[in-house]
Structure 1
Amino acid sequence: MLLSANEILLFLAFAGLTGLVLWLLLRPLRAGASSVPQDVGESEIAIYRDQLAEIARDLDRGTIGEAEAEAARVEVSRRLIAAGEAQAEAARNVTKPSDPRWRRGAAVALALGLPMLTLFIYLGEGAPGLEGQPIEARLDKPADELPVEGLIVRVERRLKDNPDDVAGWETIAPAYVMLGRYEEAVRAWTRAMIAGGVTAERLAARGEARVLANEGTVGAGAKADLEKAIELEPMEPRAQYLLGLAELDEGNREAALTRWKALLASAPADAPWAPAIRGRIDAVEGRAAIAPEDEPMIRGMVEGLAARLAEEPNDIEGWIRLVRSYDVLQDREKALEALETARKTFADDAEALARLDNLSPGSTAPR
């Protein structure tokens, strides 16, 4: 069977990688073979011998006296003896080179064994017969047969060639939200507004993505989007709902309820979002707020928030949400406990304490 060019390149890459690994493993063996002791200090000894010969010649020429020559010979001889002893000590400390036959055997074992072991593992655990799955072939399917990730890749490619495709940006932004890629959703809604203009719906959608990216808190950027949205369309449902949440987090319970009730009053009878707003109003007013089947899931989310605050306690917005959540769940004991912990955490923050003082359990969901 003939190999394709890609397969040939792949095998060449594997061969090169294997060769590099073998070279690295065999280097110590080669170093061991060349570690035969050299004549340590031999040059220094030769210098001292030459100095003794030079002293003798100077004495014969009469350039130095006998006393000077004797003193010089004693000093050079002392250094010569010290150099000889150092050479002997170094020779004793040099490790005897290993048996070259052992090195050759180890080199052969590595050179043959490593590729064979790699091939054995690949044939046993890999899938050499698996056909290639090019990205183009995987994306060349009807949209309803593709996973969300595949749809996103397809739309991203289309948008790369046509960045002014408003429908593409409006399609991909909710998909990013579905996958938890909130910052990318914010950018997608921005591109949709650049290409197609600013609308209340797009501003509300971008504001929602910013809230999700901020772990459910309506920050300054999100709030600006939501307020601009209701300027363009006063009863934009998503913007009104999220602004109500912001008011609730700020302790302005009545403002949130007024906003949501006004939204319901103006809603069509069949508005799909109306039941969610009614449920939220019921939760805040303390009526049958949570369906029994939903309570385990909601409690799990609240306990997750509590666990995060135990690790990162310096989050005043998080503590406010936690106290209110316990209050909505009718769990007064945990609400009081969370409130006390928050007060201890922000004991030196007057502004935070003032906000916490407005959170007496029961204020958000009177019994």
Structure 2
Amino acid sequence: MTGWLIAFILAMAVGLALWRFGHMPRITREPVLAALLLGLGGYALQGSPGLIGKPAKPRATQPRVDEATIAKRQELGNRFGSDVAWLIASEGMMRAGLTEAGVGYVKRGLRDYPDSPDLWTGLGNALVVHAGGQASPASVYAYHRAMAIAPAAPAAPFFLGLSLAQSGRLEEARETWAGMLARAPADAPWREDIALRLRAVDMMLKAR
């Protein structure tokens, strides 16, 4: 009953204020009154004044891409280009927790640049984030597409190994990173990073 009373008082207050201070000509009074009545009618149809009020439950935390992942992608892949622009837009969405939109941006980019290893790697990353940090068949496929297009590029095998390790698939992660290290040029700046990750995986495998 309180809800109805509040709605009625508000409608009357708005009507009175418009009549007293709005200087409405007579011809406009009936449409305004009709609009107020329609509002009350809508409340009658859709409102729930009898329900007990209670605080809304907070939404569960949405998965987000972390800045370290974005920095690593920039380090290992291209930072500029029309195809990379779609990646930057995707990462912006994922920063906000809009992971489905992030995946959509990369897929849209792939329509224009189907042979971009950066976009295929970005799709794998977006799918992993959308899945809460877990590797999925779709993300693994995306990484392998990137590796097939650019076998010497380090980004796709790095992130593939990372997603596998995060998913507890340590043997597969080790195989991926070991192959990456074996193919790496002697002066590759990321060799030491991969070697350290391999040692960490080996320690975890021994601890099982």
TM-score normalised to structure 2 length: 0.51
Higher RCO by CA contacts (8 Å cutoff, separation 6 or greater): 2
Q: Secondary structure at the match of 2:133?
A: coil
Contact map agreement 1:245 1:256 (CA 8 A) in 2? yes
Contact map agreement 1:218 1:242 (CA 8 A) in 2? no
Equivalent residue in structure 2 for 1:220, among 132, 137, 140: 137
Deviation at 1:251, TM superposition (A): 4.5
Unaligned runs of 5+ in 2: 1-6, 15-81
Which consecutive segments of 4 or more residues in structure 1 shift more than 3 A?
A: 165-168, 177-180, 245-252, 273-276
Q: Kindly tell me: are residues 267 and 20 of structure 1, through their superposed partners in 2, closer, same or farther at Cα, counting changes over 3 Å?
A: farther
Equivalent residue in structure 2 for 1:234, among 147, 151, 165: 151
1:169-218 CA-to-partner distances (Å, cap 9, x unmatched) read: 24312322333332222111111111233322210111111001101111
Contact map agreement 2:134 2:164 (CA 8 A) in 1? no
1:197-242 CA-to-partner distances (Å, cap 9, x unmatched) read: 3322210111111001101111121111112222222243232134
Rounded to whole Å, the distance in 1 between the matches of 2:198 and 2:168 is: 16
The Cα RMSD (Å) is 3.4
Q: State the identity %.
A: 21
Q: Which amino acid aligns with 2:114?
A: G
Unaligned runs of 5+ in 1: 1-17, 26-164, 287-327, 329-363
1:331-364 CA-to-partner distances (Å, cap 9, x unmatched) read: xxxxxxxxxxxxxxxxxxxxxxxxxxxxxxxxx2
TM-score normalised to structure 1 length: 0.31
Deviation at 1:277, TM superposition (A): 2.4
Deviation at 1:258, TM superposition (A): 3.1
Equivalent residue in structure 1 for 2:10, among 4, 16, 21: 21
Matched residue, 1:151: none
Rounded to whole Å, the distance in 2 between the matches of 1:247 and 1:169 is: 25
Q: How many residues align?
A: 134
Rounded to whole Å, the distance in 1 between the matches of 2:122 and 2:140 is: 12
Q: Kindly tell me: are residues 252 and 281 of structure 1, through their superposed partners in 2, closer, same or farther at Cα, counting changes over 3 Å?
A: closer
1:235-280 CA-to-partner distances (Å, cap 9, x unmatched) read: 4323213433465546562x43232122123334243x44442332
Q: Rg larger in 1 or in 2? A: 1
Contact map agreement 1:283 1:365 (CA 8 A) in 2? no
Contact map agreement 1:204 1:229 (CA 8 A) in 2? yes
Contact map agreement 1:173 1:188 (CA 8 A) in 2? yes
Tell whether 2:198 aligns with 1:259. Answer: no
Contact map agreement 1:211 1:217 (CA 8 A) in 2? yes
Q: Which amino acid aligns with 2:134?
A: T
Matched residue, 1:291: none
